[in-house]
């Protein structure tokens, strides 16, 4: 079902997600209603919504059985006040918490507590995680609050943070972060040569990675000439293979 979402519109206010046939609803507030409702729809589609009652109804009846309706627009500072008023007046069936913006007033049952305790107790932990954390504590990685959130990467029997790996292997931290975000394994991310950009970057020429100075010496063309050709839109292969032209004769 088309929920009438317009990504160009950013409005703060109170909204509801309603089951059309029964009228049961979920009421919420957001500084950007369109973005928030889009997140609700994504979470419901993939079974990750925090509200299990809304998720069960969605799974049973499907997406076409639900609709989105903005109730009213209000300033961001007044969102919780108007959300609470809407919950008190409309009494939405899918809202678990009686208080807007918090868990106050919600009590877990004994069954819920036991299930949560069992799930946390039996939560699997990767075998390498304990060793990595122990070594990080030994080396003082977690002494600073910001570094405590850093990911650790194992290589050759050692663990590195992103900044430590960039310094150790001579790679720009942003480049290493980009490679890891693209799914490249850590060992490949630290060993793959740069193939573009920068004076000291390496280019693939005649089956080997060479700096621009090395390429210029091999092809007999000045580095400045190759760079000028590439700035004008030539590809690297054409810039190094195009022969030099004789200079123009001066008039007179």
DSSP, collapsed to helix, strand or coil, labels residue 15 as strand
Task: Work out the mean pLDDT of the chain and round it to a whole number.
Answer: 77
- State how far the alpha carbon of 157 is from the alpha carbons of 26, 140, 249, in Å: 51, 17, 65
C-beta separation of 185 from 154 below 8 A: no
- Neighbouring CB atoms inside 10 A of 38's CB total 15
Query: Over 50: is that where the pLDDT of 145 sits?
Result: no
- Express the helix, strand and coil content of the chain in percent, nearest 5 each: 45, 15, 40
C-alpha to C-alpha distance for 145 and 136, rounded to whole angstroms = 13
- DSSP letters for 37-89: HHHHHHHHHTT--S-HHHHHHHHHH-GGGEEEEEEEE--GGGHHHHHHHHHHH
By three-state DSSP, how is residue 100 classified?
Answer: coil
CB atoms within 10 A of CB 216: 18
Query: In the structure, what pLDDT confidence band is assigned to residue 2 with cuts at 50, 70 and 90?
Result: very low
| Predicted confidence (pLDDT) at residue 7 exceeds the cutoff of 60 | no
Strongest mean pLDDT among 3-7, 42-46, 188-192: 42-46
Question: Percent of the chain at pLDDT above 70?
Answer: 74
Q: What pLDDT score was predicted for residue 144? A: 44
How much is the pTM? 0.41
Predicted local distance difference test score (pLDDT) of residue 116 = 73
Q: What is the pLDDT of residue 148?
A: 39
Strands 13-19 and 66-73: antiparallel
> pLDDT of 184-232, one tens digit each?
788 888 877 655 555 556 777 888 878 888 888 988 898 888 888 877 7
48-107 pLDDT, tens digit per residue, is 888 888 889 999 888 888 988 888 888 888 888 888 888 888 888 888 877 776 555 557
Q: Look at residue 136 in the predicted model and tell me its pLDDT.
A: 63
Please give the pLDDT value at position 49.
86
CATH number corresponding to 13-101: 3.40.1440.10
Read off the tokens for 119: 């799930």
Plot region of 14 (φ>0 → left; ψ -120 to 50 → alpha; else → beta): beta
Angle formed at CA 90 by CA 92 and CA 105, multiple of 5 degrees: 60
Q: What phi and psi, each to the nearest 5 degrees, are found at residue 111? A: -65, -40
Q: By mean pLDDT, which of 108-122, 124-138, 169-183 is the weakest?
A: 124-138
Asked if pLDDT for residue 168 goes beyond 60, the answer is: yes
**Percent of the chain's residues with pLDDT above 90:** 1
Cα 51 from chain centroid?
23
Count of residues making up the chain: 252
Please say if the pLDDT value at position 35 is more than 50: yes
Residue extents of the structural domains in the chain: 13-101, 127-191, 203-241
Specify the pLDDT at position 1: 43
Alpha-carbon span 197 to 228, nearest angstrom: 14
Helix (H) or strand (E) holding 191: helix 186-191
pLDDT at residue 156 is higher than 50: yes
| pLDDT at 252 exceeding the cut of 60 | no
46 burial (CB, 10 Å; 0-12 / 13-18 / 19+) is: exposed
């Amino acid at each position: 079902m088309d929920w009438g979402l317009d990504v160009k519109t950013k409005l703060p206010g109170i909204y509801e997600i309603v089951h059309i046939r029964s009228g049961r609803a979920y009421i919420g507030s957001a500084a950007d209603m369109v973005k928030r409702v889009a997140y609700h729809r994504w979470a419901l589609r993939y079974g990750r919504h925090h509200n299990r009652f809304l998720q069960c109804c969605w799974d049973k009846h499907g997406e076409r059985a639900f609709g989105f309706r903005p109730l009213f627009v209000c300033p961001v500072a007044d969102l919780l006040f108007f959300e609470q008023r809407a919950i008190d007046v409309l009494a939405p069936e899918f809202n678990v918490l009686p208080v807007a913006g918090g868990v106050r007033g919600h009590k877990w049952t004994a069954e819920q507590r036991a299930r949560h305790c069992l799930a946390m107790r039996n939560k699997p932990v990767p075998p390498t995680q304990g060793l990595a954390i122990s070594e990080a504590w030994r080396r003082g990685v977690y002494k600073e609050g910001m570094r405590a959130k850093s990911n650790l990467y194992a290589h050759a029997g050692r663990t590195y943070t992103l900044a430590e790996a960039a310094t150790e292997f001579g790679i720009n931290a942003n480049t290493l972060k980009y490679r890891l975000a693209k799914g490249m394994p850590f060992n490949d991310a630290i060993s793959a040569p740069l193939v573009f950009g920068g004076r000291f970057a390496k280019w693939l020429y005649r089956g080997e990675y060479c700096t621009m100075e090395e390429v210029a010496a091999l092809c007999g063309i000045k580095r400045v000439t190759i760079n000028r050709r590439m700035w004008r839109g030539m590809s690297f292969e054409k810039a190094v293979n195009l022969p030099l032209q004789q200079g123009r004769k001066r008039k007179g």
